[in-house]
Amino acid sequence: MNGFFHIGWFEAAVVGFIVTVFVAVAAATLKPRHRDSGLARVLVGAGIYGCVVGLVIAFVILPLRVTLIDGDVPPQVAAFGGVGVFLTMFSLRRGLVGRLPFLGPQVKQFRRAQLRRTIEAAEKDLARLSGGGGE
C-alpha cells in the first residue's frame, strides 16, 4: 500500500480515462444548437474540465478512500478529509475552473453547452409529463 501514494501509471490512467469520457460524451451529446462556438473549442473545454476533475479524483479522493479503508486515520481526522473533498468538488461544480485565466473561456463554452443540453432535456421531460393527461 505504500506505493499507492506516489505518482504512477494508475493515477495517470484514472485521469486519462476521465478526460476521455468527458470528451467522448461531449462529442456525442452536444449538438450545434447547444454551442456558441465550434466543436473543437467545446471539446477542449471538456478535456480541461475532465482533467481537473480527474486530478481531484486520482490524487485526493482515491488516496483518502484507501487511507480510510486501511484504518490508519482517526475518525475525527477522516471527517475533515471528507469535508475537504466535498468542498473541492462543490467548488469545481460551481465554476471555479471557468475563472482560470487561460483555460477558463474553453471551460465556460463547454459548461454553457452542457447546461443548454440539460435545459432542453428537462423541457422535453416536462412537456411529456404535462401532456400525459395525468391530473
pLDDT digits (tens, 9 = 90+) for 70-114: 777 676 666 676 777 777 778 777 777 767 777 778 888 998 999
| Other Cβ atoms closer than 10 A to 51 | 18
Longest CA span, the chain: 61
Does this model's pTM top 0.85? My answer is no
pLDDT digits 0-9 by tens, 30-43: 999 999 888 999 99
Mean pLDDT over the full length of the chain: 81
Instruction: Specify the pLDDT at position 3.
Output: 43
Average the pLDDT over 58-75 and give the result: 74
Spatial distance between the Cα atoms of 32 and 29, rounded to a whole number of angstroms: 10
